[in-house]
Structure 1
Amino acid sequence: MKILIIGAGRIGESVASALLSEQNDITVIDSDPERLRELQDRLDLRGVVGSGVDPEVLADAGARDTDLLIACAARDETNLVACKLAQMMFSVPTRIARVRSSGFQEHHELMGHDGFAVDQIICPEASLTNYIGKLVEHPEALQVREFAGGLACMVSVRAVAGAPLVNHNIAELAALVPGVAMRIVAIYRRLEEEADRFIICEANVRIQPGDEVFVLAAREHIPAVLHALHRRDPATARPVQRILIAGGGRVGLRLALQLSQSEQNYNVKVIESNPQRCVELATILPAEVLVLQGDATDEDLMEEEGIEDVDLFLAITSDDEDNIMASLLAKQMGATRVLALINRRSYADLMHGTQIDIALSPAQAMLGELLAYVRQGDVQAVHSVRRGVAEALEIVARGDRKTSRVVGRKVDAIRLPAEAHIGLVVRGLPESHTVPADDDVADLPPPQVIIPNGDTVIESNDHVVIFLPRKRLIRDVEKLFRVSATFF
C-alpha cells in the first residue's frame, strides 16, 4: 500500500516505523529538512520537504496514486486542510487526520464529504487517556484491549505464584475456574539473559510464575481472569483509590478530568513543574483534584505527598527520562503500581525486567486505529502488542461455504498459520454497513461471545478475534478470510 504521512514529529515517526515493517511504500512530508534527514537515515522511506497544505508539494510526494493519507502534523488546521486537498485535488481514497480539538470530533458533519472529508479522526491524547483509564479499572492488567465494541477484551497479566491458575496446565482451566469462559492465546516467558520466549498455548503447557499471559474473554469475565492469574485470594483485592499523576500536559489534564468524573471517587493529585501551567490546571480541574507545583523526581516532595500510600503512580510528562526516573523513585518509595509514558522504543526495551510495572508507548496506544485501515478484508479492530512484534485482530467472516475458506467450517478445519490462534468469536452483531431501527434492535437477541472449540462452526458475519505472535503471519490470515470474486 502507498501511504503518505504529513508530519515527521513523534507520532508521524512512530506511525511510519510501524507501517514500514509491513512493507508499505511510505512518503513523509515535513517543513523541517533536518528532521526529515534524520528520519530517512533511520528508516527506508522517502522524505519531501514542504507544507502538507501546498498542492505542489502533495503532487511531488505522489498524492495522485496514494492509497492512504495520514495527516499528523502539529496543527489541527493543517491536518484538516490536507485531507480536503487530498480528496478534492487528488482523489485519495482514505484520509485520516490527527485532531486534538474535541469540537471537531463532536460535529461529524464537519468531517463528512462536503466538509473536511476526513474518514477517521485520531487523537493520541484521547487514545492514551482511554487506555490508561482501562488500566485504572483493572489494576492487575499490563494491557487491556477491546473488541466488538467492548463486548470482548484481551488482557495481559503477570502470573503470580499462589494464584489459582499458576503452576497448572492450560487443560485444567475449566476445572479451576468454573463458569468463566476464557482462552489463553499466548504466554511470554521471562528469561534472564535473552528476550522473552513465546510459548505456544497447548493443553499440556504449565503456567509459571512471572509469565506474561494473554487471555481473551467476554468483558464481564475479565475481573475473574485477573484474579485467577494474579491474586492468591480474591478477597484481599485492593481497588485503586489514590492516584498521583506526574505531568500536567494535555494527557495529564484529560486523565485528571476523566478520573475526577468517575463514580469511583478516586483521590487524584497532579504534580506539574511549570508554575503557570499549575494555575491553568487549578482553574480547569474540579476543587477535589489537588494540583502541586514541583518535580516528581524530588524525593522530599514525594515523601511529603505520601507516595507509600499511592495505589497508582502515573509518570506522563513529555520527557522520557523524567518519567523513567520518577517511576523508579515512586516504586522504590512504596507506590503499589507505577506506569511510565515512554516515546523512544529503545527506552521501552530497556525497561524490560525493571521495577516499572507498565512502560506505555503513546504510538502503541493509538496504532490500532490506523492499522485497521491498512489491513485487507473486513478488519474491525487491530491491536499491536509486545512493542509491535505481535498483533490481535478482529476480522469479520463473509460469504458462504462456496465462496469462503472459513464460513461453514469447523475451527479445526480452518487452515490457520501454525502459531495463529482463534481466541473467541462474537456472533449476532449487526452488519457493519447497516444501522438497525430502534424497533428492530429491541427484537434482536443480544450478541454472543463464544470461546470456540474445535467443533465450533464459523458463520457468516461472525467477528473472529485472532492472536498472531508474529506480524509476518498477517497476510496469510487476510488471504484465508478473503471472499472469492463470485460473492456479492
Structure 2
Amino acid sequence: MKIIILGAGQVGVTLAKNLVDENNDITVIDNNINRLHQLQEQFDLRVVNGYGSYPCVLKDAGAEDADVLIAVTNSDEINMIACQISYSIFNIPNKIARVRAAEYIRESNKLFFPEQVPIDYLISPEQLVVNYIYNLIQYPGALQVINFAEGKASLVAVKAYYGGFLIGNPLSSLREHMPHINVRIVVIFRRGKFIKPQGSTVIEAGDEVFFVSSTKHIRAVISELQRLEKPYKRLMIVGGGNIGLGLAKKLENNYNVKLIEKNQYRSAKLAELLDNTIVFYGDASDNELLIREHIEQIDVFIALTDNDEVNIMSSMLAKKIGAKKAITLIQSSAYVDLMNGGVIDVVISPQQITISALLKRIRKTDVVISVSSLIKGAAEAIETIVYGDENTSKVINKKISNIKLPRGTIIGAIVRKNEVIIATDNNIIQYGDHLIMFITDKKYIIDIEKLFRPKLFFLKKIKKTGFFI
C-alpha cells in the first residue's frame, strides 16, 4: 500500500513507525527538514520537505498513484485543504484527516463529504479521548476497554491487585469459581514481557491482564483480578477545554460532576454550557480548594488540562489528600512511561488513542474489520470476519487447533450471530463468524489477512452481490 503521511509530529512519526514494517511504501511530508532527516535515519521510508497542502509537494510525494493520504499536521486547515487537493487533482481514494477544532466537528455532517471537503475518515482526538475515558468510568478498575462485534464482546485490560481471587491461584481455578461466565485470559503483560497463559499460570499482583468476554460480564471478571470497586458516583474534572467540556457533558446526567477551570472567562462560559455540572474558577493545585471541595469524597479525579506538569502534580496532590482514583492526560511520551505504575492510576495518552484509531481505519480490509493498538503499540487486538466455504477458505469447518495461526496470535472469542463463544482448541470455525484475536507481534497482521481471506473468485462474487461494504 502506498501511503502519504502529512506531518512529522509525534502522531505522524509514530504512525510511520507502525506502518513501515508492514510492506507499505511510506512517504512523510513536513516543512521541518531536521525532523525529516531524523525520521529517514531511523526508518526505511521517503521524505519530502515542503507544505503538504501544495499540489507540487503532494505530486513530489507520489500523490498521483497513492492509496491513502493521512493528514495529521497541527493545522486543521492544512489537513482539510490537503484532502481537498488530493481529491480534486490526484484522486487519492482514501483521505484521512485529523481535525481538532470543535467548530468544525460540530458541523462535520455538513462539511465533510465529496461536494464540500472530501475527507473519507475524520479523526477528532478530543472526541476519541472523551469516549476512551467514558468507557473507563463505566467499568471501574479497567485500564482499557475495546468493544467488538457491535459491542457484543470486549477485550479488557486490568491490573491485578492483592484482594482479587486469582492472585496466587492458577488460571484453571477461574472456571470453577465462575462456572456460569465464559471468559478467556488471552495474555499477561508482566514486567515488560508477554506471557501466554496456561491453565497452571498463576497471576501475580501487578500483572496487566487482558481478557475477552461478553461485554455484560466485564465487571464480574474484573472482580476476580482485584477487589471490585463500587460504581463511581462523584467525579472531579480539571480543565475546561474541549475534552473537559465534552466529558462533563457526557457524564453530568448520570454522575455528580465538578469541574475546575483556571481561566475566569472560560469558567463562566462553561457554567452556561453545562446543565448539571458544578463549575469552579480556580487552580486544581491549590491544596485548600481541593480540601474545601471535599476531595476525599471524590471517586475519580480526572486531570485534562493542556499542561502535563499541571495534570501530573494536581493528580498526585488529589490522591495524597483523599481522592480514591486519578486519571491523568499526558501528552509527552517520556512522562507517560515515567508515570505508569506510580501514584497515578490511569495515564491517558491522546497520541496513542489517535494512533489506534488511525490504524483501525488503515488496516481495515475485506476480512480484517477492526484493529486496536495496545500497550503503546506493542500488541494489537483484531476482529476478523470469516467468508467463503470449505473450497475457498483455509479456516471454515476446521478446529482452531488445526489452524496454523501466525506466531503470537491467540483467538480469544468467536461471535456467532448474537452469541459470544469463548474460543477453545475444539471450536470449529463457521462462515460469518467474527473472531476476536490478540496478536503480540504486529508484523504478522499481513499473514492473518492471508489466512482468513478466501480465494479471489469468492471475493469477486460477494462484492458483485453487495454482500459487504
Q: TM-score, normalised by structure 2?
A: 0.90
Return the offset for 1:39: 5.8
Tell me if structure 1 keeps the 8 A contact 2:145–2:154.
yes
- Distance in 2 (alpha carbons) for counterparts of 1:420 and 1:327: 37
Return the offset for 1:466: 0.6
Identify the residue that residue 102 of structure 1 maps to in structure 2.
Answer: 105
What letter corresponds to residue 242 of structure 2 in structure 1? R
Equivalences for residues 17-416 of structure 1 within 5 A: 17-20=17-20, 22=22, 24-31=24-31, 45-100=45-100, 101-107=104-110, 110-190=111-191, 196-231=192-227, 237-261=229-253, 264=254, 266-286=255-275, 288-375=276-363, 377-416=366-405
Which digits, 9 at most, give the CA deviation of each residue in 1:207-231, with x for residues without a partner? Answer: 2222211011111111111122222
From the superposition, tell whether residues 424 and 105 of structure 1 become closer, same or farther in structure 2 (CA, over 3 Å).
Answer: farther
- Distance in 2 (alpha carbons) for counterparts of 1:477 and 1:214: 20
Tell me if structure 2 keeps the 8 A contact 1:67–1:94.
yes
From the superposition, tell whether residues 306 and 165 of structure 1 become closer, same or farther in structure 2 (CA, over 3 Å).
Answer: same
- Distance in 2 (alpha carbons) for counterparts of 1:461 and 1:92: 31
Which digits, 9 at most, give the CA deviation of each residue in 1:18-61, with x for residues without a partner? Answer: 43454644333345556656766776654434433321121122
What letter corresponds to residue 128 of structure 1 in structure 2? V
From the superposition, tell whether residues 45 and 324 of structure 1 become closer, same or farther in structure 2 (CA, over 3 Å).
Answer: farther
What letter corresponds to residue 83 of structure 2 in structure 1? C
- Distance in 1 (alpha carbons) for counterparts of 2:297 and 2:337: 29
Return the offset for 1:130: 0.5
Q: Classify the secondary structure of the residue corresponding to 1:208.
A: coil
- Distance in 2 (alpha carbons) for counterparts of 1:275 and 1:37: 43
- Distance in 2 (alpha carbons) for counterparts of 1:33 and 1:279: 43
Q: Which moved further from structure 2: 180-189 or 475-484?
A: 475-484
Which digits, 9 at most, give the CA deviation of each residue in 1:323-361, with x for residues without a partner? Answer: 222222222222111111122222211123211111111
- Distance in 2 (alpha carbons) for counterparts of 1:47 and 1:284: 44
Identify the residue that residue 451 of structure 2 maps to in structure 1.
Answer: 480
Return the offset for 1:474: 2.2
Aligned length: 455
- Distance in 2 (alpha carbons) for counterparts of 1:456 and 1:336: 42
- Distance in 2 (alpha carbons) for counterparts of 1:97 and 1:177: 45
Q: Classify the secondary structure of the residue corresponding to 1:160.
A: coil
- Distance in 2 (alpha carbons) for counterparts of 1:59 and 1:177: 59
Identify the residue that residue 469 of structure 1 maps to in structure 2.
Answer: 440
Gap regions ≥5 residues in structure 2: 461-469
Q: Classify the secondary structure of the residue corresponding to 2:322.
A: coil
Q: Which moved further from structure 2: 78-87 or 179-188?
A: 78-87
Gap regions ≥5 residues in structure 1: 191-195, 429-446
- Distance in 2 (alpha carbons) for counterparts of 1:285 and 1:414: 53
Return the offset for 1:65: 2.4
Tell me if structure 2 keeps the 8 A contact 1:426–1:463.
yes
- Distance in 2 (alpha carbons) for counterparts of 1:301 and 1:43: 49
What letter corresponds to residue 120 of structure 1 in structure 2? Y
From the superposition, tell whether residues 23 and 290 of structure 1 become closer, same or farther in structure 2 (CA, over 3 Å).
Answer: farther
Return the offset for 1:143: 0.9
From the superposition, tell whether residues 14 and 125 of structure 1 become closer, same or farther in structure 2 (CA, over 3 Å).
Answer: farther
What letter corresponds to residue 105 of structure 1 in structure 2? S
Which digits, 9 at most, give the CA deviation of each residue in 1:265-313, with x for residues without a partner? Answer: x121222222222222222222x32222333223232222222221101
Which digits, 9 at most, give the CA deviation of each residue in 1:367-406, with x for residues without a partner? Answer: 2322133325522211111111011111112222222212
- Distance in 2 (alpha carbons) for counterparts of 1:351 and 1:163: 24
- Distance in 2 (alpha carbons) for counterparts of 1:82 and 1:141: 38
- Distance in 2 (alpha carbons) for counterparts of 1:373 and 1:467: 18
Return the offset for 1:408: 1.9
Q: Classify the secondary structure of the residue corresponding to 1:328.
A: helix
- Distance in 1 (alpha carbons) for counterparts of 2:248 and 2:35: 33
What letter corresponds to residue 210 of structure 1 in structure 2? G
Identify the residue that residue 438 of structure 1 maps to in structure 2.
Answer: none
Equivalences for residues 427-446 of structure 1 within 5 A: 427-428=416-417
Q: Which moved further from structure 2: 19-28 or 395-404?
A: 19-28
Which digits, 9 at most, give the CA deviation of each residue in 1:230-262, with x for residues without a partner? Answer: 22xx6xx4221111112111111111111113x
- Distance in 2 (alpha carbons) for counterparts of 1:40 and 1:256: 42
Q: TM-score, normalised by structure 1?
A: 0.86
What letter corresponds to residue 475 of structure 1 in structure 2? I
Tell me if structure 2 keeps the 8 A contact 1:377–1:481.
no
Tell me if structure 1 keeps the 8 A contact 2:22–2:446.
no
- Distance in 1 (alpha carbons) for counterparts of 2:89 and 2:177: 61
What letter corresponds to residue 439 of structure 2 in structure 1? L
- Distance in 1 (alpha carbons) for counterparts of 2:340 and 2:354: 21
Tell me if structure 1 keeps the 8 A contact 2:340–2:346.
no
From the superposition, tell whether residues 8 and 218 of structure 1 become closer, same or farther in structure 2 (CA, over 3 Å).
Answer: same
- Distance in 2 (alpha carbons) for counterparts of 1:181 and 1:318: 41
- Distance in 1 (alpha carbons) for counterparts of 2:21 and 2:267: 41
What letter corresponds to residue 280 of structure 2 in structure 1? L
What letter corresponds to residue 379 of structure 2 in structure 1? A
Q: Classify the secondary structure of the residue corresponding to 2:150.
A: helix
Q: Which moved further from structure 2: 347-356 or 297-306?
A: 297-306
What letter corresponds to residue 122 of structure 1 in structure 2? I
Identify the residue that residue 419 of structure 2 maps to in structure 1.
Answer: 448
Q: Percent identity?
A: 43
Tell me if structure 1 keeps the 8 A contact 2:11–2:355.
no
What letter corresponds to residue 102 of structure 1 in structure 2? I
Q: Which moved further from structure 2: 42-51 or 204-213?
A: 42-51
- Say whether residues 1:459 and 2:422 are aligned partners: no
- Distance in 1 (alpha carbons) for counterparts of 2:31 and 2:269: 31
Q: Classify the secondary structure of the residue corresponding to 1:323.
A: helix
What letter corresponds to residue 137 of structure 1 in structure 2? Q
What letter corresponds to residue 400 of structure 2 in structure 1? V
